[in-house]
Amino acid sequence: MFRAAFSRSTTDTLRRQATSSASASRSSLRRALSTPAGEQGAPKPSSNAGLWVALAATAAGGAGYYYATREHPSETLAKLKAKNKATEESPVTASLRPLPANSPFKVKPTVIFVLGGPGAGKGTQCARLVADYDFVHLSAGDLLREERNRAGSEVGELINTYIKEGKIVPMEITIGLLRDAMVRSGKDRFLIDGFPRKMDQAEAFEDTVAGADFILYFECPEKEMERRLLKRGETSGRVDDNIESIRKRFVTFRDTSFPVIDKYRSLGKVHEVSCLDTPDKVYSQVRAIFDKMFAKSA
């Protein structure tokens, strides 16, 4: 169970940050990731919480965001990036290593990033992969919405502000939720749906959790995705299924996710599937990819 502790003043400040420019948000996150985890002291294990994520102190106070896990990383992201640079190894190509030193896993899990624009049909296809190939499907969006709807969650209030603005939620929150869910599942095959949305998210995940085997990219024209989302919005009740939010999400996806896809493509780690056809025909493309790599469930 994901938990976060905020002071009221911190929450108010972070909510203001949620509506500020994307560059300001990125700067505060970078400051947070350079804070040595050891200075905070490792929290005690909890039987019902695999990960504690806290966002505390304001940017004006110089502390920004920070996060801590049940098992503190032995190196911060800043140190890991310096180490990679010193060995001429980028954080993404570092995924070829078995596991980062501070991973919560003892054996490298299979991790597939599932990307595609809003309404591309990622969730539908992932559900079938779970049944056929024994994967655990973790939707970054669903985990964020669950936390947003959790009674009394001030982190949830902050998430809600970002989603309404069509902006990316701070990666400490998203990575914390994903990592916790992966550990709690007890499994070793994961479809990470809707993540990473930016290169720094990809780098942070691969530096602290596990390297990705490849990206499964669902390509779909924006006009078709818009049609699907507006239809879904008639019954979904989701605050972001309206034309204004939808178009903001398209812009965000183009500007931030395309560079991630291009980077992994340059490494030969992208499998692209067209989503213009029926769900069954789309899945036949997906199955052709997975049958070459994974045994089907009995």
Identify whether 6 is part of a domain.
Answer: no
Least confident of 80-94, 102-116, 160-174, 215-229: 80-94
**123 appears as a binding residue in the annotation:** yes
- pLDDT tens per residue across span 30-63: 444 333 333 433 333 333 333 333 333 333 333 3
- Would residue 39 count as lying in a domain? no
Domain total in the chain: 1
3-state secondary structure of 3: strand
| Burial call 71-87: b when 16+ CB within 10 Å, e when fewer | bbbebbbeebbeebeee
Burial of 93 (C-beta count, 10 Å sphere; 0-12/13-18/19+): middle
Is 82 within a domain?
A: no
In terms of residue numbers, what domain contains 206?
Answer: 110-294
Please report whether residue 265 resides in a domain.
yes
Strands (E), the chain: 110-116, 136-139, 189-193, 214-219, 270-274
- Is 223 known to sit in a ligand binding site? no
Cβ proximity of 236 and 172 under 8 Å = no
Q: What is the dihedral of CA 127, 128, 134, 138, to 10 degrees?
A: -20
Q: Is 116 annotated as a binding residue?
A: no
Question: Of residues 121 and 129, which shows the higher confidence score?
Answer: 129
Q: Is 197 annotated as a binding residue?
A: yes
The response to whether 277 counts as a known ligand-binding position is yes
Confidence of residue 107 (pLDDT cuts 50, 70, 90): confident
Least confident of 11-15, 166-170, 219-223, 261-265: 11-15
* Residue that is written with structure tokens 């996150």 in the block: 29
- Identify whether 135 is part of a domain: yes
pTM for this prediction: 0.63
- Report the CATH number that the domain containing residue 209 is assigned in CATH: 3.40.50.300
For 241-291, the three-class secondary structure string (H helix, E strand, C coil) is: CCHHHHHHHHHHHHHHHHHHHHHHHHCCCEEEEECCCCHHHHHHHHHHHHH
Read off the pLDDT of each residue in 1-29 and give the average, rounded to a whole number.
Answer: 44
30 known ligand binder: no
- Evaluated on CA atoms 206, 212, 214, 215, the torsion sign reads negative
202 carries a ligand binding annotation: no
Amino acid at 49: A
At residue 99, the pLDDT reads 73
169 is in an annotated binding site: yes
pLDDT band of residue 297 (cuts 50, 70, 90) is: low
Q: Give domain status of residue 96, yes or no.
A: no
Q: Is 194 annotated as a binding residue?
A: yes
- What is the model's pLDDT at position 150? 87
Q: Is 186 annotated as a binding residue?
A: no
The answer to whether the annotation marks 79 as part of a ligand binding site is no
Asked if the structure places residue 3 within a domain, the reply is no
122 annotated among ligand-binding-site residues: yes
Q: Helical H runs in 110-153?
A: 122-133, 140-149
The pLDDT of residue 162 is 86
Question: Annotation-wise, does 213 bind a ligand?
Answer: no
**Residue 248 pLDDT > 60:** yes
Whether residue 92 contacts residue 264, with contact meaning beta carbons closer than 8 Å, is answered with: yes
Largest CA distance in the chain: 56
pLDDT band at 298 (very low <50, low <70, confident <90, very high): low
* Res 268: pLDDT: 96
- How many percent of the chain have pLDDT more than 90? 35
Q: Quick check: is 92 in a domain?
A: no
Task: Tell me if 176 is assigned to a ligand binding site.
Answer: no
Residue 87 annotated in ligand binding: no
Lookup result for tokens 């032995």: 74
Any binding-site annotation on 246? no
Q: What is the mean pLDDT of residues 65-83?
A: 38
Q: Has 214 been labeled as part of a binding site?
A: no
- Which phi and psi angles does 141 have, rounded to 5°? -65, -45
124 labeled part of a ligand binding site: yes
Is 249 annotated for ligand binding? yes
